């Protein structure tokens, strides 16, 4: 079967590997139909993802069809359309004991630490598979995984109705956070450097938008929040100066949620944190949020249809990554398919 493997930064190959077999633990064989290219996948390709190990079959946004099940499988059957959880955890360490397996001491993420979904078949445990709603296509269903990331960030930030939320970055992650956040909060500001993304954010529920290349972020946030600053800020841009900007833009007693994986030095002013008594909160992956995302889709609260802007067959993976690196402004979400 075909797979896409990254051997080292910028070295990507389409290879032939043996089709996996199910066993007592990995008791479901999934035939992949669609896999998303996430910013973290691009980071692995560029060599900037500090968590990744090489060589690696990447891909953690994994949608497919159940092809085979083991004797001990009780909830799934052949033909079920599923999305696969990217998180694997030990179940025994301190984080697992307090129901935070997404930061397990022995965390293994499919597509990052262990091989992921950029291959025709994958064998996984039944409990890591979630049946897809019939209302969503396989390609669009790839967006359920980043939606779980967004739900995690909003949950970690303790987002509530009266909050004044600032989302910094209106790319694929930021736009997904907006879709989730507007279910809980109506006072949302989105900041970015591209007017077209800000226009889309306004259409999708942002009350205010800020182009940080043309406007002063801190001044505009204070203007839109009656001088206080945001009560919660989520960093979905994850660039060098974003944390410092959000410390300035967030008001007293606020929360700042970080999601970046860069290991580059970042300027931080402790006075801003201490004097405002800010909570700085990391948000990584997701913690059992697939069911919540699917529930929101089934209830009509979340519409992910049409979120994907471009698709490429797996065997044209290099073209897909080159296209992403072109920074084409039309890019929203790129998905690899298996119809080759």
pLDDT recorded at residue 260:
85
Query: How far, CA to CA in Å, does 51 sit from each of 5, 107, 109, 166?
Result: 16, 10, 9, 27
29/6 Cα distance (integer angstroms): 23
pLDDT of residue 48: 87
Q: What was the pLDDT predicted at 263? A: 77
Give the residue extent of every domain in the chain. 2-143+304-337, 148-282
**CB 264 within 8 Å of CB 234:** no
Q: Of the candidates 87, 84, 116, which has an alpha carbon nearest to the alpha carbon of residue 104?
A: 87
Contact 189, 221 (CB under 8 A): yes
At 110, list the tokens.
């499919």
Please tell me the distance from the alpha carbon of residue 143 to that of residue 163, in angstroms, as a whole number.
26
Q: Which CATH number fits domain 148-282: 1.20.1250.20, 3.40.640.10, 3.40.50.720, 3.30.70.380?
A: 3.40.50.720
Q: What is the pLDDT of residue 51?
A: 86
Q: What are phi and psi of 279, to 5 degrees?
A: -95, 120
- The CB density around residue 315, as the number of other CB atoms within 10 Å, is 13
Give the mean pLDDT per block of 10 residues along the chain (340 residues): 97 97 97 95 92 95 98 96 97 97 97 97 98 96 96 98 97 92 96 95 97 98 98 94 96 96 84 98 96 96 91 98 93 91
CATH fit for domain 2-143+304-337, picks 3.90.1150.10, 3.90.180.10, 3.20.20.140, 3.30.565.10: 3.90.180.10
Contact between 307 and 140 (Cβ < 8 Å): yes
* CB-based contacts of 178, cutoff 8 Å, min separation 6: 167, 170, 188, 190, 201, 204, 205, 206
Determine which helix (DSSP H) or strand (DSSP E) holds 273, and give its type and residue range.
Answer: helix 270-276
Structure tokens at 71: 């004797």
pLDDT at 255: 98
Whether 2-143+304-337 shares its CATH topology with 148-282 is answered no
């Amino acid at each position: 079967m075909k797979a896409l493997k990254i051997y080292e930064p910028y070295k990507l190959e389409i290879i032939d590997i043996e089709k996996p077999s199910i066993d007592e633990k990995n008791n479901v064989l999934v035939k992949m139909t669609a896999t998303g290219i996430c910013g973290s996948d691009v980071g692995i390709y560029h060599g900037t993802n500090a968590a990744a190990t090489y060589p690696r079959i990447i891909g953690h946004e994994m949608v497919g069809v159940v092809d085979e099940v083991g004797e001990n499988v009780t909830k799934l059957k052949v033909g079920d359309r599923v999305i696969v959880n990217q998180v694997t955890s030990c179940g025994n360490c301190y984080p697992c004991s307090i129901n935070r397996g997404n930061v397990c001491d022995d965390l293994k993420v499919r597509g990052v630490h262990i091989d992921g979904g950029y291959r025709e078949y994958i064998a996984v445990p039944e409990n890591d598979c979630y049946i897809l709603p019939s209302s969503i296509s396989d390609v669009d269903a790839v967006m359920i995984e980043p939606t779980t990331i967004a739900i995690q960030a909003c949950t970690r930030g303790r987002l509530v109705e009266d909050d004044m939320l600032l989302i910094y970055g209106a790319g694929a992650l930021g736009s997904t956070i907006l879709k989730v956040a507007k279910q809980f909060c109506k006072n949302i500001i989105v900041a970015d450097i591209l007017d077209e993304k800000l226009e889309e954010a306004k259409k999708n529920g942002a009350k205010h938008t800020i182009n940080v290349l043309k406007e002063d972020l801190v001044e505009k946030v204070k203007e839109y929040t009656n001088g206080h600053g945001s009560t919660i800020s989520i960093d979905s841009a994850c660039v060098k100066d974003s944390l410092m900007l959000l410390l300035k833009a967030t008001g007293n007693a606020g929360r700042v949620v970080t999601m970046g994986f860069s290991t580059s030095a970042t300027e931080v002013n402790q006075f801003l944190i201490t004097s405002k008594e800010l909570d700085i909160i990391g948000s990584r992956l997701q913690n059992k949020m697939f069911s919540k995302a699917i529930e929101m889709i089934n209830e009509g609260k979340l519409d992910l249809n049409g979120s994907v802007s471009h698709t490429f067959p797996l065997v044209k993976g290099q073209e897909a990554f080159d296209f992403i690196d072109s920074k084409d402004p039309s890019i929203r979400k790129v998905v690899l398919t298996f119809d080759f």
